[in-house]
Every structure is written in structure tokens, then in C-alpha cells.
């Protein structure tokens, strides 16, 4: 069993690093073999495996929105088996469109490293439409 709140703190650090573009911290938190799953039909959807692919996706989120994309963390909950759920609000602007979608990510953390992440959007249609 993981130390209580240890994995939640890793997730909190990850959100803070993501929102400030702190790639060094993200590289420490995210395992090099991690897979990030983003559903939908948008250009940012798909399974991104490894640092290069995951950080490429993060870069696309930022560049496509001219740095306005943010993931405001609202709630974190942790299970005894290393899974952590982060609920957040995605916002951004792109091509005259405004994004405001709730999302949760299920993170699988082993030995202090993020091994797998799965996005779940409350309104996948709005997410896909924003990136279309």
C-alpha cells in the first residue's frame, strides 16, 4: 500500500508543472514508458507513449492555444492501489473558440512515477469541437 497522500501529492505537483510549463518536473514525475490515453476524434486524441509523444501532445495543447490552455485542478482522490483521480477544468482559446470543459484523469502511479494516464471528459463533444 502506498503512503497515504503520497501519490496525490505527485499528481498535484504534475498539474502545477503542466500549467507552468515546467518540463523538468514533468520528466521526473512521468515514467519514460508511460502511456497517456486521450479519447475522441480530435487531432490531440490517441495513445501517446513515452516522453517524446506525451510532451509532444502537451506542446500541441499549448501551441494550438497560444499558451492559453490550462488544467485547473479542482479535486484529487487516491485509492490504496496507486490510482489517483484528478478532476480539473480545461480552459483555453483557439481560432475564436473558447474551451471550458470538465475532465478527470485516472493516473496509475508505481514507485513514485506516473505509469499510465487516462483522460475522461465530461463533454467529449465540446472537447473534440474545440480542437476541430
Q: What pTM was computed for the model?
A: 0.93
- pLDDT per residue, tens digit, the chain (132 aa), is 445 578 999 999 999 999 999 999 999 999 999 999 999 999 999 999 999 999 999 999 999 999 999 999 999 999 888 799 999 999 999 999 999 999 999 999 999 999 999 999 999 999 999 999
- Sign (positive or negative) of CA dihedral 100, 125, 60, 55: positive
Amino acid at each position: 500500500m502506498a503512503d497515504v497522500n503520497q501519490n496525490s501529492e505527485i499528481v498535484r505537483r504534475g498539474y502545477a508543472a503542466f500549467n507552468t510549463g515546467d518540463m523538468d518536473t514533468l520528466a521526473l514525475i512521468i515514467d519514460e514508458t508511460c502511456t497517456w490515453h486521450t479519447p475522441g476524434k480530435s487531432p490531440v486524441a490517441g495513445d501517446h507513449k513515452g516522453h517524446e509523444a506525451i510532451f509532444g501532445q502537451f506542446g500541441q495543447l499549448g501551441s494550438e492555444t497560444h499558451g492559453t490552455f490550462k488544467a485547473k485542478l479542482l479535486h484529487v482522490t487516491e485509492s490504496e492501489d496507486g490510482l489517483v483521480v484528478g478532476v480539473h477544468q480545461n480552459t483555453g482559446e483557439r481560432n475564436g473558440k473558447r474551451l471550458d470543459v470538465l475532465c478527470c484523469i485516472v493516473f496509475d502511479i508505481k514507485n513514485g512515477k506516473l505509469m499510465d494516464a487516462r483522460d475522461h471528459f465530461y463533454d467529449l463533444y465540446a472537447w473534440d469541437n474545440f480542437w476541430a
